[in-house]
Amino acid sequence: MSLDTLKVDLAGQTAIVTGASQGLGRAMAIALAANGARVACVARNAEKLAAVVNEISGDGGQAEAFSCDVTSKESVESVVDGVADDWERLDILVNNAGVTRDTLLPRMTDEEWDTVIETNLRGTFLFSRAASRHMMRARYGRIINVSSVSGLIGNPGQTNYSASKAGMIGLTRSLSRELAGRKVTINAVAPGFIESEMTKALGDIVITEAKKRIPAKRLGTPEDVAATVLFLASPAAAYVTGHTLTVDGGMTG
């Protein structure tokens, strides 16, 4: 799917995207806004958030920046309730905020474990809980959790990250069963190797070897993932819930 060809009608809808200041989150926020949604861009880095909001506004879209600690119940509920009340609705939530603290398990500190689990998994729980209350009352909603192929197949040096992303998939499946009757869908997206500053840091040799393992013979782009999220956020995906959609060029088969 390409953002040049995929178009959906999100006019009048309100979306929250966490981790929207860069990478995948930035691409998702731009895609949702380009298709008519008003987007609450959430992250900690106010300067980067402002740049994303300005980019969306410059292209004729609607967006606002919200600084938030995704591990804090008070901070999350303040953002979600504030957006839903001020904008009079909440239709879409994309749980994308995430961190890594990679190291082999025997060397992993408690802090490295807790930081990843709290940001990636607890953050998803807090936002989903707060958003679901509004969506249940409205009898409509789309929650998309950005997991990872690491949550499906694991990855050496990422026991904390893989556990958090696998937990997001379990949360997705269970919550989808709870909210399907209220016309709220919950799905997950599991990206593989995606072009980013993180992958660039791996170096050319690692990237070349990674491409050999990917049937598509290339890394994915943030736009590849954003297009998938755009579909799941759309009215067209009304009968898709509890699903984890891999975006990995065929790497996991």
At 185 the three-state DSSP class reads strand
What is the phi/psi pair of residue 93, to 5°?
-130, 125
Residues 6+ apart with CB under 8 A from 218: 211, 249
Per-residue pLDDT of the chain (253 residues; tens, 9 = 90+): 445 668 999 999 999 999 999 999 999 999 999 999 999 999 999 999 999 999 999 999 999 999 999 999 999 999 999 999 999 999 999 999 999 999 999 999 999 999 999 999 999 999 999 999 999 999 999 999 999 999 999 999 999 999 999 999 999 999 999 999 999 999 999 999 999 877 777 778 878 888 988 999 999 999 999 999 999 999 999 999 999 999 999 999 8
pTM exceeding the 0.85 threshold for the entire prediction: yes
Catalytic residue set? 161
CATH of 14-246, one of 3.30.1330.60, 3.40.50.920, 3.40.50.720, 3.40.1190.20: 3.40.50.720
Name the residue ranges covered by the structural domains of the chain: 14-246
- DSSP-based helix, strand, coil % in the chain, nearest 5: 50, 15, 35
Q: How many residues does the chain have?
A: 253
